[in-house]
Amino acid sequence: MEFFRVEQTDGIAICTIVNPPMNYLVGGMAAELGQLIAELAADRGVRSVIFTGGVAGKFITHASVEELAPLTADPEQFRQTGADALAAYHALLSGLQRLPQPVVAAINGDCMGGGFELALACDFRLAAMGPYLIGFPESRMGIIPGAGGTQRLTRLIGAARALEVMLFGNVYAPDEAARLGLVHRVVPEHDLMGIALDWVRQLAKQPPKALAMIKRAVYEGGESDLEHGLAIERECFVEVMCTRDAQVGLQAYLDMVRRDPMEARDRFLSGQALPRYTGE
């Protein structure tokens, strides 16, 4: 791949985004991302995923304005083709969000516009401390976030704050982004990948089907009314209860409780004594 370096170790896929010097999001990168998402979805050996920037000070700066600007030259043509092009990119990031594995965006530099939209499609956003910016500056250029940003950010932080970010075209330093809920937490730059790896290693020990079903219930159910969300939860619960991992996990906990209930509370429920889950 030209724009992604992918390393796999111990069930973790680290996907590094590389398009120097600015790490702009370009059409070729989107095409490769679609291929990468399909490969990750099909690989049962991958238990968790990290996306991070491979250019100093850049996660993904934003979408390439050099590619966007010519689209305004023929408005009638864009009226005919633009919605379909955007639908394809929406499907791409929805595919990222639907990956069965937990996905962490380890944000290590500028993460605006299309780059922030990619990060929003990940399950977790960890941000390094540093002199860079996170947010949606699109309105300052006469456009709007068009790759899911208006929808995912609103669902994440609520309409009032999302409007403040997008109408003003605001971009934020990492600490302010965390205060507003745009990222989960900010960590020292030299600790970013270590903490991201700690998170995904812990997640990789969890039963993968249970994690996939939690993601489905949260994302699909959270975007519907309560009754439909509960129906999705029922489907997910039944499906996961029929797995071998559920049998193994419940029995392992029951055995530990029979030996020592407090040990079960302290060790099993804190993740120190989990059985080996296989995804079956």
Q: Residue 242 above 90 pLDDT?
A: yes
Digit-coded pLDDT (tens) for 37-83? 999 999 999 999 999 999 999 999 999 999 999 988 899 888 888 89
The architecture (CATH level 2) of 208-268 comes to: Orthogonal Bundle (1.10)
**Separation between Cα atoms, residue 173 and residue 161, nearest integer Å:** 16
| Residues designated catalytic | 117, 138
pLDDT at 133 (0 to 100): 98
- Classify domain 4-204 at the CATH topology level: 2-enoyl-CoA Hydratase; Chain A, domain 1 (3.90.226)
Domain residue ranges in the chain: 4-204, 208-268
- Provide the CA 117 distance to its chain's centre, in angstroms: 9
pLDDT at 102 (0 to 100): 97
Q: Residue 270 above 90 pLDDT?
A: no
Judge whether 44 and 279 are in contact, CB under 8 Å: yes
Strands (E), the chain: 4-9, 12-17, 48-53, 57-60, 103-107, 109-112, 124-128, 134-135, 171-172, 185-187
Q: Residue 275 above 90 pLDDT?
A: no
Say if 4-204 and 208-268 have the same CATH topology: no
Judge whether 122 and 183 are in contact, CB under 8 Å: no
185-187 vs 124-128, strand pairing mode: parallel
Give the three-class secondary structure for 250.
helix
pLDDT at 272 (0 to 100): 81
- Record the tokens describing residue 52, joined without a space: 């991070």
